[in-house]
Amino acid sequence: MSSRSTSRPFSHPLRFLPLVGLLLGCAISPPAAAQPCGAQGVALQVLGSGGPELQDKRASSSYLVWDNGRARVLVDAGGGSALRFGESGATMSQLDVLLFTHFHVDHSGDFAALIKSSWFEDRKRPLPIYGPPGNDFMPSTTEFVGDFFGEKHGAYRYLSELLAPGEKGSYKMQPHVVTPGPTPIPVLRSGNLSASAVRVVHGDVPALAWRIEDGGKVIVFSGDTDGEGDGLVRLAANADLFVAHNAVPEGATGVERHLHMPPSVIGQIAEGAKVKRLVLSHRMLRTLGKEDQTQSEIAKRYSGPVAFANDLDCFPMK
């Protein structure tokens, strides 16, 4: 996959080991252990760079924020992301918080797998989980977690000890509903980590964009949105890194455009917010292969560096 990037991320070194081994043969000793993402300072790691279609051969939406070797924040947990989470070297015990943008399957499908894995880690402190409210056809964040792990009706109620207050789990999930309007609001602060959110328009699905500040670095996640309104521009103001979803090509119409922002809108938001760096993710079959067109539409509006994300790419903050 060629992706024209004016800014190259550090690809995960382990991905190239088989090729290196093939080229160099077995006569030399293996390279030193790979540096994990975010071993020093703050870094974004893309766990899932794809959309819902499995034929894109990418995990669906999921991102980690690393801080000096510790995975502090997980944003979304789409299908395939639990495997990528393990490959990244992160553990569930490291996480300070799990944030959801919305509950479409490609943003939440591996949630239960991550929680089951955590059961083997003997995590000792609560795991706060923040996400959007519900409506008639989408669960709220507390309903979503309860639908999996609630003690009476949860699909995986055999693990209800990780949610139900009276039961003896090694830790408890603490789901919270975040209900911002079109203006960003602060959601949490813990030491040098804070997060704020704004409501974004994603069809009829309650959806949030997230701004994470860690150690003075700012990473903003658009989630899925058509880009309507100025809330996302305000949330992303002066961000060190803005992760936007490249789910539709320029010229998209109908339902696709109703749910997602085309490259021109991404460029407008990145420029309006004066973000320092743009990362394009949620790449789907309809946008893969159109990187040149996407890049040129964005470049008409935004002059900063742009990168197309692949699974496990690591973006250290300078």
Site residues for Zn ion per CB under 5 A: 104, 224
**What's the min distance (Å) between Cβ of 258 and Zn ion?**
11
**What's the min distance (Å) between Cβ of 205 and Zn ion?**
6
- By C-beta, is 47 or 127 nearer to Zn ion? 47
- By C-beta, is 36 or 51 nearer to Zn ion? 51
Within 8 A by CB and 6+ apart from 267, the residues are 297, 298, 299, 300, 301, 302
- By C-beta, is 73 or 247 nearer to Zn ion? 247
Separation of alpha carbons 249 and 161, rounded Å: 45
**What's the min distance (Å) between Cβ of 74 and Zn ion?**
17
- By C-beta, is 24 or 255 nearer to Zn ion? 255
Closest CA to 266 of 299, 231, 217, 219: 299
Q: Which residue has the tokens 């993710």?
A: 281
- By C-beta, is 50 or 154 nearer to Zn ion? 50
- By C-beta, is 77 or 218 nearer to Zn ion? 77
Within 8 A by CB and 6+ apart from 44, the residues are 63, 64, 65, 66, 219, 241, 243, 279, 314, 315, 317
**What's the min distance (Å) between Cβ of 202 and Zn ion?**
6
Query: Do residues 210 and 221 lie in contact, with contact meaning Cβ atoms separated by under 8 Å?
Result: yes
Separation of alpha carbons 166 and 133, rounded Å: 25
Give the type of residue at 180.
P
- By C-beta, is 84 or 102 nearer to Zn ion? 102
**What's the min distance (Å) between Cβ of 219 and Zn ion?**
20
**What's the min distance (Å) between Cβ of 231 and Zn ion?**
17
Fill in the DSSP letter of residue 287.
T
Q: Exposed e or buried b for every residue in 55-84, given b needs 16+ CB within 10 A?
A: ebebbbbbbbbbbeeebbbbbbbbbbbbeb
Q: How many of the other CB atoms lie within 10 Å of CB of 90?
A: 23
**What's the min distance (Å) between Cβ of 103 and Zn ion?**
9
Separation of alpha carbons 10 and 234, rounded Å: 29
Q: Which residue has the tokens 């964005």?
A: 298
